[in-house]
Amino acid sequence: MERIVWRSIIRKFMVSSIACLFLFPAAPAAATPVPPLKGKIIVVDPGHGGYDPGAVRGGVYEKHINLQIALKLKKSLEEKGAAVILTHDGDYNLAIPGLHAREAHRYDLGKRLEIADKSKADLFASIHVNCINAISCKGAEAFYNPGSKTGKLLAECIQAEMRSVPGMEKRTAKTRDCYVLSNARIPAVLVEVGYLSNPDERKKLLDGNYQAMLADKISRGIERFFAMETSG
């Protein structure tokens, strides 16, 4: 008798389970979203390094801030699916012994661009900090080569993102005649992330969270650039 009751319970359970399968079929597996920068190769260039400190003000060296932001930018771009190559990942530059001053500087910059050529990169982004005599000047600026349409779009995309940093001076993208921008064969940008000469901005630029925010904005600008480039 007991066995018959159990059989009946099991049968009812099986019938209701099969009915459930028909009434509520399993939802099709959602397609995994493709990371926005998948397939892109990006060269991130921390400005200066080694014996070339870049700007120095109030005991702060530009080269250190450039490297810290570049490392954070690399991480952010990789999270979006890009392959990222740093021109250098420590406190050194790419010049060789025996070269001096201007010659060494030119060699260093040439080697940075060579990395972009050899890696068949899609984009070159150089990170710097500005410094002038007037202490009141502040804000991030993205620079492009005057002859490069894609460079202009890239700089404008990054500048647009930078404008959303709380307290950031609202600046516009500008042209600049400099070696890496003039000689890059791919869309290139040079971002001056702020002014070392402005005491308030200098303090912010030393803060890891602020650096991460700037890296995130540059990364978003690069993402925006590729989205606009492919759509139009």
Q: Which residue is nearest to Zn ion (CB)?
A: 128
Contact 120, 196 (CB under 8 A): no
* Residues, the chain: 232
Q: Which CB, 179 or 216, lies closer to Zn ion? A: 179
Residue 46 C-beta: closest distance to Zn ion, Å = 10
User: Shortest distance, CB of residue 192 to Zn ion, whole angstroms?
Assistant: 7
| Distance (Å, whole) CA 82 – CA 74 | 9
Nearest distance from C-beta of residue 131 to Zn ion, angstroms:
8
For Zn ion, which is the closer residue by CB, 37 or 218? 218
Q: How far is the CB of 63 from Zn ion (least distance, A)?
A: 8
**Alpha carbon distance 159, 146 (integer Å):** 16
**DSSP string of 151-180?**
HHHHHHHHHHHHTTSTT------EE---HH
User: Which residue, 47 or 49, has its beta carbon nearer to Zn ion?
Assistant: 47
Shortest distance (Å) from residue 62 CB to Zn ion: 5
Outline where the chain has alpha helix (H): 2-23, 62-79, 101-118, 149-162, 179-183, 199-205, 208-231
Q: Which is nearer to Zn ion, 165 or 180 (CB)?
A: 180
Reference 69, options 162, 136, 135, 146; nearest CA is 162
Residue 132 beta carbon to Zn ion: minimum distance, rounded to whole angstroms: 12
Question: Nearer to Zn ion by C-beta: 37 or 87?
Answer: 87
39 neighbors 120 (Cβ within 8 angstroms)? no
According to DSSP, the β-strands at 41-46 and 123-130 are parallel
Least distance (Å) from Zn ion to the CB of residue 113? 16
Contacts to Zn ion by CB under 5 A:
47, 54, 128
For Zn ion, the closer of residues 89 and 229 by Cβ is 89
CB-based burial label for 62 (10 Å; 0-12, 13-18, 19+): buried
CA distance 167 to 163: 9
Residue with tokens 């492009």: 144
Q: Which residues pair with 42 in a beta bridge?
A: 84, 123
Which of 47/151 has CB closer to Zn ion?
47
